[in-house]
Amino acid sequence: MKVCYARVSSKTQNIERQTKELEENGCEEIYIDVASGKDFNRPNYIVMKSKLRKDDKLVIHDLSRFGRNKDEIIKEWKDIIDLKAEINVLNMPVLNTAQYKDIKGIGKLISEIFLSVMSWTVEEERNRIREAQQEGIEIAKVKGKFKGRPVKYHEHAKNAQDRLIYNEVVRMLNNKESVMDICKRTGVTRMTIYNIKKRISV
């Protein structure tokens, strides 16, 4: 069976270019994740991998859509090969394991070397993007233009429900209840609770 995997980092990114090319390559099933490529702890990737069987073919549009961490990419690649499944990265013909199926030695070696180099490249690209984003934030801060994410829960929140939740969090904090208990009962993240605690302690 030919199985396809596609990934974007956020909902604002367009998945259609990937899925269109995958469909044109005869994929029977396409698994899609909206998640970071830093690791492989992604719900649909995990489901897809659990269903891979011997002689199945996993098709990916681009290695960066597979992952962004060199060591993780190489580990997952080996896991899939150990399942006796094939992998085909469409925009990198050398990363099509089917062509090395009956070749021992040089062909497989070329594929492994290329995978190592390209996985390092996509990891470096991710690092450059993160550094550029951080530099942009720092510059914006210096210029006074970076405001960060707006605070949702505060005493003057326009949304009545957000204001009620804030008041409940403050009440529980004043009663010395643990952050974990407050998190479970209100559904507010621990980081947000710590931020509220910090603000009311000032």
Alpha carbons 54 and 1: distance in angstroms, whole number:
9
CB atoms closer than 10 angstroms to residue 137: 13
Question: Percentage helix, strand, coil, to 5, in the chain?
Answer: 55, 10, 35
CB of 8 within 8 A of CB of 25?
Answer: no
CB of 87 within 8 A of CB of 97?
Answer: yes
To 10 degrees, what angle do helices 160-174 and 190-201 make?
A: 70
9 is catalytic: yes
3-state secondary structure of 86: strand
> Which residues have a catalytic role annotated?
9
